[in-house]
Chains A and B, each alone.
Chain A
Amino acid sequence: MTGALAIETEGLSKSYGSMHAVRNLNLAVKPNRITAFLGLNGAGKSTTIKMLLGIVKPTEGSGRVLGKRIDYPVESVELRRDVAFVTEDKNLYGYMTVEQIIRFTRGFFPGWRQDVAEELLRKYELPARRKVRHLSKGMRTKLALLLAVSRRPTLLILDEPSEGLDPRGIEQLLECLVAQCAEGATVFFSSHQIAEIERISDEVCIINRGSLVLDASLDVLRLNWRQVDLVFASLPDRGDFQLAGVERIRTRGQQMSLFASGNVDAIVERARDFHATAIDVSPVGLREIFLQSVEES
């Protein structure tokens, strides 16, 4: 599936009365990449994912997953044949054993790879006869991953996958996601864990208060965003530095600190024009980019 987007939405919105959980969202998730969906708690990540899977109906707008409409019930069922979803709580049917839930899930997917499931059972050391309600959260996560991955999904959607995992669990999770992408799957996961996103994602979509505020490749962000720290003998006016690309200016005493998404050359030149006594350009991590993007204007 080259070219066609894995997930695309147009003006997707969801309101509960006067509360707008998702506002006019336009996603464009490329296939065969790892895309992170980053936002604060309550930003609308889970609601968006639920709309994509037909669990919640949009108030307005439309979307397609793997080319099929999310708001048409028949197409929604069809698209779910190629999608695997791992929920935030990783709750599974408590009354089933590990074996039983594997058998149950397998029945829905003709392309199920039982050899993969068995390999993961061994690798993750999951007790086949134990009931799901007696599994720890870490084991439930591994089971949820097993159920997702054994069906050979074209698209893997995860909602806060590392929630409640210890560092080793997180490592295994990230390895699994990378492996899936290498197999040709598209991975779309929501998270507010910056470190993990920075490690494995190709693209990041930042959502705040229901709307998309940034949608870029991580490499582009790393190449373009910079912090410029300047010292002046006499501090110029902020207005002189409101150039294209400048996201935020802070001043204190003789210092001016600019946060820029690009156009750093021009900023440095302007600083020289104003005879800055010190010019420092340093790279910026995703954490700062994220916090800047969601700051109240």
Chain B
Amino acid sequence: MLWYKAWLETRTRFLISLAGMTALGCYRVWELDRNPEPWYKLDYYYFALRSGHQLITLMWIVAATLLLMGGLLREKALGVSSFTLALPASRRRLMGVRIGTGFGQGLVLAIVPWSAMFVTAALTGQARSIFQAWFSIVLLIGGGAVIAGVALLVSALIEGEYTAPMVSFGFAILCGNAPKSLEFVNPLGLMGGRAYLGGSNMLVRPIPWIHVTANLCVTAILVGISVKIVERRDF
């Protein structure tokens, strides 16, 4: 029943994000096909998708932060945490469902809009590279996981109805403005894939599994800490 609750709580946000991201992503690519930018000489199809990827990354960060808003601390600010905590469910299970829902939705939001965008681009009749789609989605998931992990941790630390997502946004903005030297540890850096652009400004193989795995490990740590915090604290 906790999954049911999590769904009821987030479904509006999720469906709007899904629809919005898919629509905007597809529109961007379709529009660029019709009015290509001047520097897309080499492979404008490729760069249309790059542009789409940037847009989707930005939207994904906003959506994921909003989707991970919630949890017991937010319920405490709303005065409902005692009801939830008096139910026969362990805190670990409560967190587990929230993590599953939030990250699961984030995953769907990483895959579906990009895939729809790819299909839209393919319909314009240009040569396509599934590898680019695959690479971009992996980058998005790798970097995004850390953003989601941070959003989760912040929601376990900061009480308030909307304070937690604002702090998470702040973190994302900080990442966005971080110096180039931190590119490698910056999750936004991974998502943007700038480190993997070759001389022709195209993504260079192979997919940086080590970098992605490292990010996922960081995410796992953030999630673990969040769960421990929620298990230990008083409400």
Within the complex, are A and B direct neighbours (CB within 8 Å)?
yes
Listed in ascending order, the chain A residues whose CB lies under 8 Å from chain B are 50, 53-57, 73-74, 77-78, 80-81, 83-85, 87, 89, 91-96, 100, 103-109
The interface residues of chain A lying within 8 Å CB-to-CB of B82 are 50, 53, 55, 85, 87
A54 and B78 in contact, given A73-B90, A95-B8, A107-B4 (Cβ under 8 angstroms): no
- Give the complex CA separation of A108 and B81 in angstroms: 16
The interface residues of chain A lying within 8 Å CB-to-CB of B232 are 57
- Give the complex CA separation of A179 and B172 in angstroms: 55
The interface residues of chain B lying within 8 Å CB-to-CB of A74 are 90
Say whether B235 contacts A56, CB under 8 Å. Answer: yes
Q: Which one, B4, B9, B86, contacts A103 given CB within 8 A?
A: B4
CB proximity to A under 8 Å, residues B53-85: 78-83, 85
Q: Size class of B's contact patch?
A: 20 to 34
Listed in ascending order, the chain B residues whose CB lies under 8 Å from chain A are 1, 4-5, 8-9, 78-83, 85-91, 231-232, 234-235
The interface residues of chain B lying within 8 Å CB-to-CB of A53 are 82, 85-86
Q: Which one, B87, B231, B234, contacts A56 given CB within 8 A?
A: B234
Q: Which one, A50, A77, A91, contacts B88 given CB within 8 A?
A: A77
The interface residues of chain B lying within 8 Å CB-to-CB of A96 are 5, 8
- Give the complex CA separation of A283 and B5 in angstroms: 53
Top 10 nearest A-B pairs (CB, nearest first) are A107-B1, A85-B86, A91-B79, A80-B88, A56-B234, A81-B88, A55-B85, A87-B82, A91-B80, A89-B79
A77 and B234 in contact, given A54-B85, A55-B85 (Cβ under 8 angstroms): no
| Residue of A with least CB distance to B93 | A77
Q: B8, B91, B235 — which one has the most chain A CB atoms within 10 A of its CB?
A: B8
Between A and B, how many residue pairs show CB distances below 8 Å?
Answer: 73
**How far does the Cβ of B73 sit from chain A's closest Cβ, in whole Å?**
13
The interface residues of chain B lying within 8 Å CB-to-CB of A107 are 1, 4
- Give the complex CA separation of A83 and B4 in angstroms: 22
Say whether B80 contacts A92, CB under 8 Å. Answer: yes
| Residue of A with least CB distance to B87 | A108
- Give the complex CA separation of A89 and B86 in angstroms: 14
Say whether A104 contacts B89, CB under 8 Å. Answer: no
| Residue of A with least CB distance to B3 | A107
**How far does the Cβ of B234 sit from chain A's closest Cβ, in whole Å?**
4
Say whether B83 contacts A92, CB under 8 Å. Answer: yes
- Give the complex CA separation of A88 and B91 in angstroms: 22
- Give the complex CA separation of A83 and B82 in angstroms: 13
Say whether A57 contacts B234, CB under 8 Å. Answer: yes
**How far does the Cβ of B76 sit from chain A's closest Cβ, in whole Å?**
10
| Residue of A with least CB distance to B81 | A55
- Give the complex CA separation of A91 and B76 in angstroms: 10
The interface residues of chain A lying within 8 Å CB-to-CB of B80 are 91-94
The interface residues of chain A lying within 8 Å CB-to-CB of B85 are 53-55
| Residue of B with least CB distance to A47 | B234
Say whether A55 contacts B88, CB under 8 Å. Answer: no
- Contacts A/B (CB < 8 Å), 10 sampled: A50-B234, A55-B82, A55-B234, A73-B91, A91-B80, A91-B83, A93-B5, A93-B8, A95-B8, A104-B5
| Residue of A with least CB distance to B235 | A55
Say whether A87 contacts B83, CB under 8 Å. Answer: yes
**How far does the Cβ of A45 sit from chain B's closest Cβ, in whole Å?**
13
Q: B86, B89, B90, B232 — which one has the most chain A CB atoms within 10 A of its CB?
A: B86
**How far does the Cβ of B72 sit from chain A's closest Cβ, in whole Å?**
10
Q: Which one, A56, A78, A94, contacts B78 given CB within 8 A?
A: A94
Additional 6 contacts, C-beta under 8 A, given A56-B234, A74-B90, A80-B88: A55-B81, A84-B86, A91-B78, A104-B5, A107-B1, A108-B1
| Residue of B with least CB distance to A144 | B83
The interface residues of chain B lying within 8 Å CB-to-CB of A94 are 78, 80
The interface residues of chain B lying within 8 Å CB-to-CB of A95 are 8-9
